[in-house]
A and B are shown apart, each in its own frame.
Chain A
Amino acid sequence: MIKYLKILNDKAQISNHPPAGGLIFEILFFMFYLILKELFYALTGALAIFIIMEIFWPGIVLAYININWVLIFWLVIGIVILITNSKWQITIIK
């Protein structure tokens, strides 16, 4: 976490653009972005698995889960990630 604080601080100094909502907000937002990204991958996998399961065993998923909502959730997360990514242009530094 400290390492990322430094990175963000350096970025802010180089660009002479201090973060709009403060450094803490930027960190939290970055973490939120990472979580969303992981959630997006997980939902992509879930959708693929659910669809394959439904093809081979009709009703196995739809009996309990409404895939429409999963799809909508997946789509919303994808849109949020794209917007976030283009606004802040955050680069993950390894």
Chain B
Amino acid sequence: MKNWIIKLRIFLCLILAGIVGWLLYMAVLPSGKIIYINDFSKYNYFISKLSPKERIVETQSVETHCNASLRRIIGDPVYFSLRAPRKFNKAKLILKYRQCRDALQCVSTLQCVSTLPVIEAGVLVDKTIWRYDLQPIENKIINDLAMVWSVIDENGIMLLQREKKYNSIDEFLNDLPNRNEIALYNYDLKQEFLLENYAQIGIVGTQNFVSLRGPYQFYTYIKDENLDFVFLFQDLNKNKDSDPIDLHLYYDNQMIDSRHLDDDGIAQDNNEITVEREIELKLANLPEGIYKIELRVNDDIVTKSITTKQQKMAFINKLWLADSGNSDINLYTDSKLINAQTVNPSSLQTVKITSSALSAAAALSAINIEQTYKQFSVIVSSSITKLTLEKDDVILSGNGVFSFNENSLINPDFKKVDSYLDIDNDGINYILAEYNLPEEDDGWKIAFAELDLTQAYRENGPRLIGGAGKYSFLISIPGLRADDKIDDWVELGEIRVELEGVSLYDKIFKNFK
């Protein structure tokens, strides 16, 4: 009897040891590889729910042979997080989805009135400025053009030609056509950007701007002159975090210099506005070309002024005009999409949009900001547009650059293949894209995005030894709005994340090397 009990005890201990061993194995993952899947049928510890809930509708599959839970995305963007037990180097995010137009083909009861040309997904890389590294999931423009234009596909890189001229991608890269004929998608094409008629002003050409709030990036141009910028900052101390200031200078996508200012010492939300502090960014003997300056701060930091001797200064994609009592502010942009938003009830206004070629009276359009915290958008067709704002404290964003002076506008970026690109009118003859066409399976599309997690932001919870960290993901579907009364959506059937990192063997081997 005693032996029998001891055997039972040993058996139970072995089961417990096995469970503990398996849990440790799944936490350490010696192979460095793991796959997490969320098909929305039940609670998933690793892949969180999609949020915000206002942009998600929970549905059931309407096909007779299937009763699966689905998530219908009705607004852009949506977020989810992934709890990973350890750090990983890369992730392959695989989405099983269909748009209403795909569902329409297989289920006649569904109605669809809109199509969404671009779907992208990415991982959060910078929490300070909420920057996501977005990768393509589907680009319908390229999908459609691939059926009509000549296509060369080499190792996931596609070259589409209106009329076939090049026989390989290398041939194209070695003999690039005019940059106005090229549009890119998810491809970093390196081509020297030099202005032919650029001449430096000679004497001090100082520019002062209205105050800007939060982070921003802008392009500037240097030719036989020193880089000369003086920034004046103020801390509003409206949130509880510390507010350090980082200024980075990039040339050819490489950071070549930076400046740092520590927090003003008040890491509280006491609304105490501190004294103005200054950062000088002055460099000599720089080669001619385009430079990018990035300010990495949170929304507590206001740039009171930027003083520079450079002629060109164009803010990339977004800028927030801070609340400093300015009125009748003129801005110029090459953006086709213009978004405006305010968080200040006293800044509700109508933004006049005119073509820079026309007189101010000939208004092209207007953005009526009639509600706080809501983004209002307009799509324009002119190449350069002038915006006239009645008051400041407005967040402006778009798919191009913004400047306070028409002559300061400069945009070295190639045109991007997105929903705002007019292939014919913009004279695009070549498209270069790092993109894989989605696969189709029983009315569903399956597409993947490969994401670099080495630079991704991983939020760590409280822990003593280890613990699951969270990677934040985003699914972007430009043009999809929950409040636009249009019955359009993207339905997700499954989210699958394949993670890959350093194996335990490699980690030990490298440490002992």
- A, B co-complexed: yes
CB of A43 to closest CB in B, whole Å: 9
Contact yes or no, B16 A46, CB < 8 A:
yes
Known: A34-B5, A42-B15, A63-B468. 11 other contacts (CB 8 A): A3-B1, A39-B12, A45-B13, A49-B20, A53-B20, A56-B464, A59-B461, A60-B467, A63-B45, A64-B26, A65-B19
Known pairs A57-B463, A58-B468; A64 contacts B23 (CB<8 A)? yes
Contact yes or no, A42 B13, CB < 8 A:
yes
CB of A41 to closest CB in B, whole Å: 8
Q: Which 8 A-B pairs have the closest CB atoms?
A: A59-B468, A42-B12, A57-B466, A58-B467, A60-B27, A56-B465, A56-B464, A63-B45
Q: Does B85 contact A (CB under 8 A)?
A: yes
**In the complex, per-residue mask of A27-46: 1 if CB is within 8 Å of any chain B CB, else 0:** 00000001100110110011
Q: Does A72 contact B (CB under 8 A)?
A: no
CA distance A41 to B15 in the complex (A): 13
CA distance A45 to B20 in the complex (A): 11
CB of A34 to closest CB in B, whole Å: 6
Number of B residues whose C-beta is below 8 Å from A? 27
CA distance A55 to B461 in the complex (A): 12
CA distance A3 to B1 in the complex (A): 9
CB of B18 to closest CB in A, whole Å: 11
Q: Which residue of B lies closest to A34 (CB)?
A: B5
Which B residues are CB-close (under 8 A) to A35? 8
Contact yes or no, A45 B16, CB < 8 A:
yes
Mark A residues whose CB is within 8 Å of B. 1, 3-4, 34-35, 38-39, 41-42, 45-46, 49, 53, 55-65, 94
Question: Could you tell me the dominant secondary structure of chain A's interface residues?
Answer: helix
Contact of B85 (CB < 8 Å), options: A3, A34, A56, A63? A63
* Subset of 19 A-B contacts with CB under 8 Å: A3-B1, A4-B1, A38-B5, A41-B12, A42-B9, A42-B16, A45-B16, A49-B20, A56-B463, A56-B466, A57-B463, A57-B467, A58-B461, A58-B463, A59-B45, A59-B83, A63-B46, A63-B85, A65-B19
Which A residues are CB-close (under 8 A) to B468? 58-59, 63
CB of A28 to closest CB in B, whole Å: 14
CB of B265 to closest CB in A, whole Å: 33
CB of B502 to closest CB in A, whole Å: 19
Q: Which residue of B lies closest to A3 (CB)?
A: B1
Q: Which residue of B lies closest to A92 (CB)?
A: B1
Which A residues are CB-close (under 8 A) to B465? 56-57
CB of B201 to closest CB in A, whole Å: 59
Which B residues are CB-close (under 8 A) to A45? 13, 16
Contact yes or no, A57 B12, CB < 8 A:
no
Contact of B23 (CB < 8 Å), options: A1, A4, A55, A60? A60
Q: Which residue of A lies closest to B6 (CB)?
A: A38
Contact yes or no, A62 B45, CB < 8 A:
yes
Contact yes or no, A63 B19, CB < 8 A:
no
Q: Does B325 contact A (CB under 8 A)?
A: no
Contact yes or no, A38 B85, CB < 8 A:
no
Q: Which residue of B lies closest to A1 (CB)?
A: B1
CA distance A4 to B19 in the complex (A): 34
**In the complex, per-residue mask of B219-262: 1 if CB is within 8 Å of any chain A CB, else 0:** 00000000000000000000000000000000000000000000
Contact yes or no, B85 A59, CB < 8 A:
yes
